[in-house]
């Protein structure tokens, strides 16, 4: 059932923020340089691009090293305990930078700040932090910056608003001229037992299809070749829109814009419809790559995780995907040592991984997050068992990846060239249509082009090849 349209942040409010950016740009004592340190997922990376866009409008230049910046901003993640501890540890280290130059400004934002109780903790334990803001009021960053600069006092603002609002038309400073993120929806309604995201990102709210399509067309006109659509569960895009498009309809419309490549993440398996598979199979520009997190291969664990699909249902979706899109590359997320996970449950996960034969997998040891249901569950798994299980799973997946990559030797892949290879400056590197990094010798003038490459050999997670005959786009 469709609910009411999610609320946009009022145009006047966005205009007020733009006004603040212009005012800050005129302030003589403003920071001149900034460094944003980003933790976590693509959603955070894209938020950092928006923050960078706002800082640019405030008249600041980016620098590589935080030591060289007048303003250091940490965009944090709290999905796992060690991500949060790492961010907090690094924030503590900033104290020294502040001592060295007291006028240097320090900011902390993102999911960790949004977590209940964290803003109070920052105020209490981190007196050198000048600005802290959560995820729901990112668009108010210029206002908070202006307050901090004019009052020279600490500014902390965290809005607890489950419904959330959608900000449009904020400036963005993209990291790449050829790749761009487009957020299509915010928040999540699924409440998987182990996950903190619904508590820090609020309920699902979808951007209007019109705004998304306009953004995609503008990016294409700007030379962008590949877009990545972002959302915690893109498959439920549009469920909250009155008479809005569904995700498959949105994909079809985006395909018609003619942008070279379209990717998306993340897809919840329970919402992966036949219609979506058909659109992927028939579209010209949607990459044949899908990240489909399974988390566990045991029905008992899946039920406890509140994932709302069974092993059989998941495998049926994989079967359907492979039937309609035989060359699809499948990747996944896996959690081991979930509370109460028995050896048999774990072996079920291993057998599912063998059966699907994923191209790649992100594997994690369960990390309890305060406030989630799983954090208070009995049956914690000891560290030695957790380590043994994750090592076994990693070895299993490594073998899958090796086999999948080896099977690609001899075939021709279309590679969107990013630049020089990180390992060998004489080589170019880019991603193929399946999201795999391919290295090959070639001229720098090919950066930003889509090049046909015949695969000659496979490494652990990358491919090597040579440019071959075919159209360079
Ligand atoms: S679908 Fe589950 S794992 Fe993904 S963000 Fe939502 S609650 Fe977290």
Q: Looking at residue 37, which CATH number applies to its domain?
A: 3.40.50.12160
Tokens of 464: 């090597």
Indicate if 271 and 338 belong to the same structural domain. Answer: no
Looking at the domain assignment, is residue 326 inside a domain? yes
Looking at the domain assignment, is residue 461 inside a domain? yes
Q: CA of 175: how far to CAs of 40, 150, 189, 439, 447, in Å?
A: 16, 30, 30, 21, 15
Number of compact structural domains in the chain: 4
- Return the closest-CA partner of residue 115 out of 93, 136, 139, 141: 136
CB 234 within 8 A of CB 264: yes
Indicate if 86 and 192 belong to the same structural domain. Answer: no
Q: Residue 164 has what pLDDT?
A: 65
Cβ of residue 195 lying under 6 Å from some atom of ligand 1: yes
User: Where does a domain end: 384, 407, 430?
Assistant: 407
Q: CA of 342: how far to CAs of 336, 339, 353, 386, in Å?
A: 10, 9, 17, 11
Alpha helix (H) residue ranges in 141-258: 141-151, 197-201, 209-221, 247-256
Indicate if 419 and 395 belong to the same structural domain. Answer: no
Nearest-atom index, ligand 1, CA of 266: 4
Q: Give exposure, 113-149, as e/b (b: 16+ Cβ within 10 Å).
A: bbbeebbeebeeebebbbbbbbbbbbbbbbbbbbbbb
Indicate if 311 and 332 belong to the same structural domain. Answer: yes
Return all residues near 407 (Cβ < 8 A) that are at least 6 apart: none
Indicate if 54 and 138 belong to the same structural domain. Answer: yes
Number of Cβ within a 10 Å radius of residue 355: 12
Residue 225's domain comprises 176-287
User: Where does a domain end: 287, 305, 335?
Assistant: 287
Own/partner contacts of 429-435, CB < 8 Å, gap of 24 or more, are 432/463, 433/261, 433/287, 433/288, 433/289, 434/287, 434/288, 434/289, 434/327, 434/329, 434/359, 435/263, 435/287, 435/289, 435/329, 435/331
Q: Give exposure, 389-406, as e/b (b: 16+ Cβ within 10 Å).
A: bbeebeebbeebbeebbe
Q: Which residue has the tokens 């208070």?
A: 376
Indicate if 357 and 392 belong to the same structural domain. Answer: yes
Q: Give me ligand 1 centre to Cα 293, in Å.
A: 10
**Residue 226, domain CATH:** 3.30.750.210
CB 158 within 8 A of CB 133: yes
Please identify every stretch of the chain with a pLDDT value under 50, giving residue numbers as ranges: 1-2
Cβ of residue 131 lying under 6 Å from some atom of ligand 1: no
Indicate if 453 and 369 belong to the same structural domain. Answer: no
Indicate if 109 and 29 belong to the same structural domain. Answer: yes
Return all residues near 142 (Cβ < 8 A) that are at least 6 apart: 17, 18, 20, 21, 24, 54, 57, 58
Indicate if 74 and 41 belong to the same structural domain. Answer: yes
Looking at the domain assignment, is residue 81 inside a domain? yes
- Indicate the top mutation candidate among 197, 201, 372 to test ligand 1's pocket, ranked by most ligand atoms within 8 A of CB: 197
Which conformational region is residue 326 in: left (phi greater than 0), alpha (psi within -120 to 50 degrees), or beta?
Answer: alpha
Return all residues near 229 (Cβ < 8 A) that are at least 6 apart: 182, 184, 212, 254, 262, 263, 264, 265
Cβ of residue 232 lying under 6 Å from some atom of ligand 1: yes
Alpha-carbon distance of 202 to 206, in angstroms, equals: 12
Tokens of 461: 């997670």
Q: Which residue has the tokens 């899109």?
A: 325
Tokens of 458: 């496979």
User: Where does a domain end: 157, 190, 211?
Assistant: 157
Question: Nearest 5°: phi and psi at 289?
Answer: -145, 135
- Return the closest-CA partner of residue 236 out of 247, 248, 245, 249: 247
Looking at the domain assignment, is residue 338 inside a domain? yes
Nearest-atom index, ligand 1, CA of 268: 1
Cβ of residue 268 lying under 6 Å from some atom of ligand 1: yes
Cβ of residue 335 lying under 6 Å from some atom of ligand 1: no
Q: Give me ligand 1 centre to Cα 377, in Å.
A: 18
Indicate if 228 and 258 belong to the same structural domain. Answer: yes
Indicate if 54 and 71 belong to the same structural domain. Answer: yes
Q: Give me ligand 1 centre to Cα 191, in Å.
A: 6
Q: Can you spell out the DSSP letters for 58-107?
A: TT-EE-S-GGG-SEEEEEE--SSHHHHHHHHHHHHHHHHHHHH-TT-EEE
Tokens of 231: 């959302």
Q: Give me ligand 1 centre to Cα 112, in Å.
A: 16
Looking at the domain assignment, is residue 472 inside a domain? no
Coil, helix or strand at residue 48: helix
- Return the closest-CA partner of residue 366 out of 332, 392, 334: 334
- Indicate the top mutation candidate among 185, 189, 195 to test ligand 1's pocket, ranked by most ligand atoms within 8 A of CB: 195
Indicate if 384 and 453 belong to the same structural domain. Answer: no
- Indicate the top mutation candidate among 188, 292, 294, 303 to test ligand 1's pocket, ranked by most ligand atoms within 8 A of CB: 188
Alpha-carbon distance of 36 to 138, in angstroms, equals: 14
- Give, in degrees to the nearest 5, the angle at Cα 106 between 199 and 59: 105
Tokens of 168: 């449009």
Q: Give me ligand 1 centre to Cα 113, in Å.
A: 19
- Return the closest-CA partner of residue 179 out of 415, 414, 413, 418: 418
Looking at the domain assignment, is residue 163 inside a domain? no
**Residue 431, domain CATH:** 2.40.50.140
Q: Give me ligand 1 centre to Cα 233, in Å.
A: 7
Give the largest CA-CA distance in the chain: 65
Which conformational region is residue 310 in: left (phi greater than 0), alpha (psi within -120 to 50 degrees), or beta?
Answer: beta
Q: Residue 5 has what pLDDT?
A: 63
Looking at the domain assignment, is residue 162 inside a domain? no
Which residue puts its alpha carbon closest to atom 8 of ligand 1?
195
Q: Residue 1 has what pLDDT?
A: 41
- Bridge partners of 356, per DSSP, are none
Looking at the domain assignment, is residue 166 inside a domain? no
CB 38 within 8 A of CB 105: no
Q: Residue 2 has what pLDDT?
A: 46
Coil, helix or strand at residue 398: helix
């Amino acid at each position: 059932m469709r609910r009411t349209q999610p609320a946009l942040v009022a145009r006047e409010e966005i205009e007020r923020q733009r006004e603040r950016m212009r005012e800050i740009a005129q302030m003589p004592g403003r920071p001149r340089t900034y460094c944003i340190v980003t933790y976590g997922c693509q959603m955070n990376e894209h938020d950092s691009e928006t923050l960078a866009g706002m800082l640019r409008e405030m008249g600041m230049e980016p620098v590589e090293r935080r030591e060289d910046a007048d303003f250091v901003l940490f965009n944090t993640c709290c999905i796992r305990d060690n991500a949060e501890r790492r961010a907090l540890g690094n924030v503590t280290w900033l104290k020294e930078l502040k001592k060295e130059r007291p006028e240097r400004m320090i900011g902390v934002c993102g999911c960790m700040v949004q977590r209940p109780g964290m803003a109070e903790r920052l105020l209490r334990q981190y007196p050198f932090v000048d600005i802290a803001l959560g995820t729901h009021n990112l668009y108010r960053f210029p206002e908070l910056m202006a307050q901090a600069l004019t009052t020279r006092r600490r500014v902390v603002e965290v809005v607890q608003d489950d419904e959330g609002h959608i900000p449009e038309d904020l400036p963005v400073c993209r990291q790449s001229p050829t790749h761009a993120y487009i957020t299509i929806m915010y928040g999540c309604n699924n409440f998987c037992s182990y996950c903190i995201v619904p508590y820090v990102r609020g309920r699902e709210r979808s951007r209007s299809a019109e705004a998304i399509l306009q953004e995609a067309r503008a990016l294409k006109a700007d030379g962008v070749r590949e877009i990545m659509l972002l959302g915690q569960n893109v498959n439920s895009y549009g469920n909250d829109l009155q008479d809005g498009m569904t995700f498959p309809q949105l994909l079809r419309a985006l395909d018609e814009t003619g942008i070279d490549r379209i990717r998306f993440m993340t897809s919840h398996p329970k919402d992966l419809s036949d219609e979506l598979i058909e659109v992927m199979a028939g579209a010209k520009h949607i990459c044949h790559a899908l990240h489909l997190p399974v988390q566990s291969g045991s029905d008992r664990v899946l039920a406890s995780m509140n994932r709302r699909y069974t092993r059989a249902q998941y495998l049926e979706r994989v079967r359907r995907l492979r039937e309609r899109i035989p060359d699809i590359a499948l990747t996944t997320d896996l959690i081991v040592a979930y509370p109460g996970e028995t050896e048999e449950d774990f072996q079920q996960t291993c057998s599912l991984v063998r059966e699907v034969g994923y191209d790649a997998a992100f594997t994690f040891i369960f990390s309890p997050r305060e406030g989630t249901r799983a954090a208070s569950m009995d049956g914690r798994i000891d560290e030695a068992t957790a380590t043994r299980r994750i090592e076994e799973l990693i070895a299993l997946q490594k073998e899958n990846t090796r086999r999948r990559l080896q099977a690609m030797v001899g075939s021709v892949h279309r590679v969107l060239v990013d630049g020089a290879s990180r390992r060998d400056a004489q080589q170019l590197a880019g991603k193929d249509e399946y999201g795999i990094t391919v290295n090959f010798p070639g001229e720098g003038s090919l950066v930003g082009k889509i090049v046909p490459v015949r695969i000659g050999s496979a490494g652990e997670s990358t491919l090597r090849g040579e440019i071959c005959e075919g159209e360079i786009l």
